Structure 1
Amino acid sequence: MRQEDFLLLVSRQGDEAGLDEGRLQQIERHSGLSLTQRWPRAALFCRDTNTVLSNDQNGAFLGRPRHGGEPPFHAVTPAMATGMLGAWDGSGLSRKLWGDFIAIRVDRRQSGSFSLHRSAMGHLPCYYRMSRSGELVVCSLVRDGLAVIGERPSVDWGQVANHLARQQLRLDATCIEGFHELAGGCELVIEQGRMPAIKRRWNPWTFACPNVWIASEDEAASRLRNVIEGVIAAQASRHNHLLLGLSGGLDSSIVAAGLQACGARFSAINLVTSDPTGDERDYAAIASQATGADLHLAPESEALVDWRRSDAAHLPRPVASSFTQSADRQHQHLARRLGASGYATGGGGDHIFCYTQSSTPLLDSLRHYGPGRRALRTSIDIARSADVSLANVWQAALRRSLRLSNSYRWEADVSYLAGEIAGIVAKAPRHGWGDAPHEIPPGKAMHVAWLQHAQNHMEGYGREQDLPMEWPLLAQPVVELCLRIPSWMWIAGGQNRAIARRAFRGALPDTLLDRRSKGSPESVLIRTYQASRSAILDTLRSGHLAGHGLLDIASLRMIPAREAAFRSVDYRRIMTLLDVEVWLQSWLDV
């Protein structure tokens, strides 16, 4: 549950009586939501009316929108929100505002017509479904939506198969049959006598086009720091105390520097693993000392992981990873002890700061400038960053250039999937943003694809059900600016995320900014598997995935023999399958 939870119920045409007082009261009792507004053909329910910025016969504004443009990012006032509803401009909402918000517009000229806009890169969920009786439900929690229309959940096994094959590709269709997500920056248009339609009001390709690229590394770094600090100041202003997950890596350290710059009150938590590859406490100590954060160390432990329970049980996609429960429980415990009002994370930094060892920046440089010193410099930077030879870089670039499409290729992971399923998912479904336009070079197309990757990592955490999580590095102003930075700038000097490092030079110690290593929490995942190996494999072999023919049972049965022979086993893949199976149980075994 979150304060911003909402539900909009639109009656079928000519059946306004379907929203009588008795039914509205029943919805309130069963959902825990409060009736907030009633229109001739619809009713809006919210968990906390304090999150409703504007609410009248023209519509409603939910959440916390902020003005875009350049920092400082001022909050939208109720009067401003009311004015925007009265002079509706769906495209303008995405251009002028950012944050976590839903705007609902009632068209009083066309009785029964609605428009619902979800903020681009917003963190307020929005799903919709037409019921069998013709009602439309739009909600932040799918379980609430199902209860209101009186239907039981049904799994979309085709979407489950797509998820298993391409876990990072987030489609508008969810894994609960009939429910679609209203993607960020889109508008749901509901008109009498017509099926609901989607209008895309925001598109990342607008900012990835070469004609809007930033020309110099100095300008890119200066503007990046300015916008990150502005976003962090805006997000921190709603909190009295934030708890930051601080690994001592670049991304979380940048968030710490931003919190210090705006004078926010915050503490930091570093998760310590028994495996040296995941022990980053020394770097976290350097970051906390540099930014004035009170650092708390907490041990990662498989004892805190209950792999039989999914932290995505309330979501229509199996996006939770069981091994993150260890980190979640430590965050929750410390947040309660400190009285924190929210969490902050550097999550998504690798994606939006274009962390790559690909040859595609070389192709972008060649396409933009042609052959010459610039391309040679880029190839040297890639070789240094990826620790490969120049010859390897140019060979990889040549192979990539021979592909007809400049779009990112979503490769399928079909390991442990049944043969017929592997054939079905061989071709990647089309994402709502579409293929890369012809003017977008392959490196920037990859950057946009990684932004898609990040979206499945922004939910499914146990801690977000207690307190809000702030994701400053994936906020719309940061995303739009980063997409305007050419791909070759991100690996300048042979350093990944080079512009982000340059942006915070002077705000963070060189020890952190020049760090090339990255820690990994994989040890918790592996120990969780090893502690319950037999039970986990039994669960997979006898579960819903196997029962619906999605898994290669023979391959699963061979895992113990492979381990006994000291042959490699993909523990992460097995645990991913398990997480999907447990999510299915949360929806079907009730």
Structure 2
Amino acid sequence: MRGFLTFSWSPEDPAAVRAAGRLKSAALEDGWTEIERRPACWVGVRGPNPPKSYAPRTGTLVIGDVFAHPDAGSGGADGETDEAFAGWYSRNRWGRYVILFRGSDGALMRVFRDPSGSLAVHGWRARGLQILTSGVADAVVAAAPPKVAFDWDRVRALAERPFDLAGPSPLTGIMTVPPGRLADVDGRSMALWSPEAVAATPTRRAADARRNLRRILDHCVGVLSGRRAIGIEISGGLDSAIVGGALSALGRPVAFALNTRGPHAETDERRYAQEAADLMGAPLSCRARAAVAYSAELFEATAGDPWPSQNGRDLENDLLVAAACLEAGVDALLTGKGGDALFFQMHTPLAFADLWRRGPLRSLLSGQLPGVARWTRTSTWSLIRTARESRRGAADDLPPGKRMQIAAITGGLAYYSACRRSEAVDMIHPLMAQPLLEWALRTPVPDLAPNGRERGLARDVFADRLPASIARRQGKGDYAAYFNQQAAQNLPFLRAYLLDGRLAEERVIDRAFMEARLDEDVLRWQGGASEILAAVSLEAWIRRWDGRRRGA
């Protein structure tokens, strides 16, 4: 997986010097490429399109891709303090990067994670070494093992809400730096950028939001794609078609356009994907998923980071896309991931509640009230009641729909978690780029979904770049029956893995309830595979870390 590894030590500590030598050897053998070596610090990178680095000032190293913000101010970075330097970057630069701040001897002191969070930052101390890395590889853990334990309360919370990634880590002993924060290596941190702060200064005019969206999206897609021939994942839905339309408008070459499907008719979106590819002028490769027999090895292979991976639990698609990209020879694959949160696809009465907060009487006369009622299939009276109740117990002045969008954007960090696809190709998610996140956070929810049209603003702005069928389309491919079928075909493994696993042992899941769900008829008629696979991902993560703690 694309990322970085760095560690520092005291040259006066013989044991730490020996530990550093062992870790460096292990890292090089594991596929890391050395980009910097000092008497007290080592830095390596790896993965498809491994991150580049540069030193903008003494004691500071930037790792990753950095671009000028489309709304950047004038002047250069303020180098007076680390906080001022990182703060300037958070306002005037964007990309996929981290900033390392080091002492005069090269010792790691602080780190800043860019607001998009595309490169993770995990840190711990072991054997006299201070380690920071974007991905926790087995070789690194074996050479410098962290002292970890499970926070079972947090594990229980993740079992209930797998995409709630805003809280504390479920694994103690390893520091994880949230996006937009400057952290000391001892774990103390300060927010230099936060979605709440951005959302607190909303764009007042819908016309400005419309005009800015096209400009900012083209900027992000253009710089992330570069001038090389790349691949793009085209699902047949709106979000990937918008990314594809930008590539076409910018004249960027596409070497490989990929669409995947399951065996059920409701998963087959080739018609829409073909129309999007034709509009782009790109050849479309359509691949059918092959059934995969579930195993502990397959799930645990992507479960090695301090947070459980939700990105690799769809095993069939993960394996298929990785193989297809390797076969096509592309080193970067653009996706439409993150678009649901960015453009506001969530079906919720809060899309009206936010307008109510801006002006109750005016909202009653707007098209938003009947529009959201149709969209959510609820009565207008129910919407008004929800809007009135949403003001109670509010922790801040943010409207409830915007608060919901922030949670969805934060949950999108799961798209950066470990998977086989990211081992094979550089996965790039333009719709999760910082300038676009800031645009979405500042745009009021009623403007994002005008008159209750989900992603309505985006549909209007990019209508001239989209096939009419996709611009009008309200739904998307449905994989629920497919996942239920896959779970039913793998029931012997799932029963043994979950019912006799650590989640059941620690009573994180109700064993009797899970046993009842793991039934072929229940899966066929009631579903539930999504929740089952989320539990499998969590179980795989626990078992992987249990094995590491035992030195297995």
Same fold by TM-score greater than 0.5: yes
Contact preservation (8 Å) 2:148, 2:174: no
- Per the alignment, residue 58 of structure 1 pairs with 59
Letter in 2 for 1:257: G
User: Relative to 1, partners in 2 of residues 1:560 and 1:254: Cα closer, same or farther, differing over 3 Å?
Assistant: closer
- 2:441 — aligned with what? 483
TM-score by length of 1: 0.83
Corresponding residue number in structure 2 for 1:408: none
Contact 2:19 2:143 in 1 (8 A): no
What letter corresponds to residue 367 of structure 1 in structure 2? R
* Conservation of the 8 A alpha-carbon contact between 1:221 and 1:499: yes
For 1:149-188, what aligned pairs fall within 5 Å after superposition? Answer: 149-151=144-146, 154-171=149-166, 173-188=168-183
Corresponding residue SS for 1:558: helix
Shift of the 562–327 alpha-carbon distance from structure 1 to 2, 3 Å rule, reads closer
The 10-residue stretch of structure 1 (30-39 or 462-471) with the greater mean CA deviation from structure 2:
30-39
Partner of 2:340: 350
1:108-507 matched pairs, under 5 angstroms: 108=104, 114-131=109-126, 135-143=129-137, 145-151=140-146, 154-171=149-166, 173-190=168-185, 195-209=186-200, 212-237=201-226, 240-266=228-254, 267-303=256-292, 308-310=297-299, 311-320=301-310, 324-372=314-362, 376-401=366-391, 403-405=392-394, 438-507=396-465
User: TM-score, normalising length from structure 2?
Assistant: 0.88
Distance 1:345 1:375, change over 3 A: farther
Say which SS state the counterpart of residue 317 (structure 1) adopts: coil
Cα 1:312–1:82, aligned 2, differ >3 Å: closer, same or farther? farther
CA contact (8 A) 2:325 2:424 kept: no
Q: C-alpha displacement at 1:515, in angstroms? A: 0.8
C-alpha offsets along residues 95-141 of structure 1, whole Å, 9 cap, x if unaligned?
11111111112355x9967231111113112101244x665322222
Count of matched residue pairs: 538
Q: Which amino acid aligns with 1:563?
A: D
The 3-state SS of whatever aligns with 2:203 is coil
Please show how residues 35-54 of structure 1 align to structure 2 within 5 Å.
Answer: 36-37=35-36, 42-47=40-45, 51-54=52-55
Secondary structure in structure 1 of the residue aligned to 2:368: helix
Aligned equivalents of 1:53 and 1:207: distance in 2? 28
Structure 2 residue aligned with 1:413: none
Q: CA deviation at 1:293?
A: 1.9
Greater Cα shift, 510-519 or 326-335: 326-335
Q: Counterparts of 1:145 and 1:349 in 2: how far apart (Å)? A: 34
Which ranges in structure 1 are unaligned for 5 or more consecutive residues? Answer: 74-79, 406-435
One-letter code of the match for 1:6?
A: L
1:560 is displaced (CA, Å) by 5.9
Preserved contact between residue 303 and residue 537 of structure 2 (Cα < 8 Å): no
1:48-71 Cα distance to aligned partner (Å, 9 max, x none): 597222287522111111111349
Displacement of 1:396 in angstroms is: 2.8
Please give the secondary structure, in 2, of the residue aligned with 1:63.
Answer: strand
Query: Separation in 2 of the partners of 1:441 and 1:249?
Result: 28
Given that 1:304 and 1:325 are in contact with CA atoms closer than 8 Å, whether structure 2 keeps it comes out as no
Secondary structure in 2 matching 1:230: helix
- The answer on whether the counterparts of 1:10 and 1:137 sit within 8 Å (CA) in structure 2 is no
Displacement of 1:171: 4.0
CA distance in 2, matches of 1:219, 1:146: 49
More off after superposition, 88-97 vs 372-381: 372-381
Q: 1:458 to 1:564 in 2, by over 3 A?
A: closer
1:527 Cα shift? 2.0
* Contact 1:51/1:63 (<8 A) preserved: yes
Q: What pairs up with 1:544-583 in 2 under 5 angstroms?
A: 544-559=502-517, 563=521, 568-583=526-541
Alignment correspondent of 1:543: 501
Report the Cα distance in structure 2 between the residues aligned to 1:449 and 1:87, rounded to whole angstroms. 26
Aligned to 1:521: 479
Q: Secondary structure at the match of 2:208?
A: helix
**CA shift at 1:184, angstroms?**
1.2
Contact residue 235 and residue 259 of structure 2 kept, 8 A = yes
Structure 2 equivalent of residue 94 of structure 1? 90
- One-letter code aligned to 1:260: S
Cα shift at 1:287:
0.9
Could you list the per-position Cα deviations for residues 227-283 of structure 1 after superposition, in whole angstroms to 9, with x for gaps in the alignment? Answer: 11110110001x633221111211010011111122222221111222222111111
Measure how far apart 1:580 and its partner are: 1.8
- Partner of 2:6, secondary structure, is strand
Partners of 2:329 and 2:69 in 1: CA distance: 31
**CA distance in 1: counterparts of 2:430 and 2:485, whole angstroms:** 32
Aligned CA distance change for structure 1 residues 505 and 129 (closer, same or farther; 3 Å): same
Superposition CA RMSD, Å: 3.1
Letter in structure 2 aligned against 1:386: T
Aligned residue type for 2:175: H
Percent identity of the aligned residues? 20
CA contact (8 A) 2:169 2:307 kept: yes
Runs of 5+ in structure 2 lacking a partner? none
Give the residue type in structure 2 aligned to 1:445: R
- In 2, Cα distance between equivalents of 1:258 and 1:65: 21
CA distance in 2, matches of 1:82, 1:35: 29
Q: 1:118 to 1:508 in 2, by over 3 A?
A: same
- Matched residue type, 1:165: E
Cα distance in 2 for partners of 1:534, 1:111 equals 53
Residue 35 to residue 569, structure 1, CA distance change in 2 (3 Å): closer
Deviation of 1:331 (Å): 1.7
Q: Deviations over 1:487-509 (max 9, x none)?
A: 11122133101111111021112
Pick closer, same or farther for the CA change 1:510–1:374 going to 2, 3 Å.
farther
Q: CA deviation at 1:295?
A: 0.7
2: CA distance between counterparts of 1:286 and 1:565? Answer: 34
Secondary structure of the 1:372 match is helix
CA 1:549–1:213: 2 relative to 1, 3 Å:
closer
AA aligned to 2:8 is L
Whether contact under 8 Å (2:313, 2:537) holds in the other structure is no
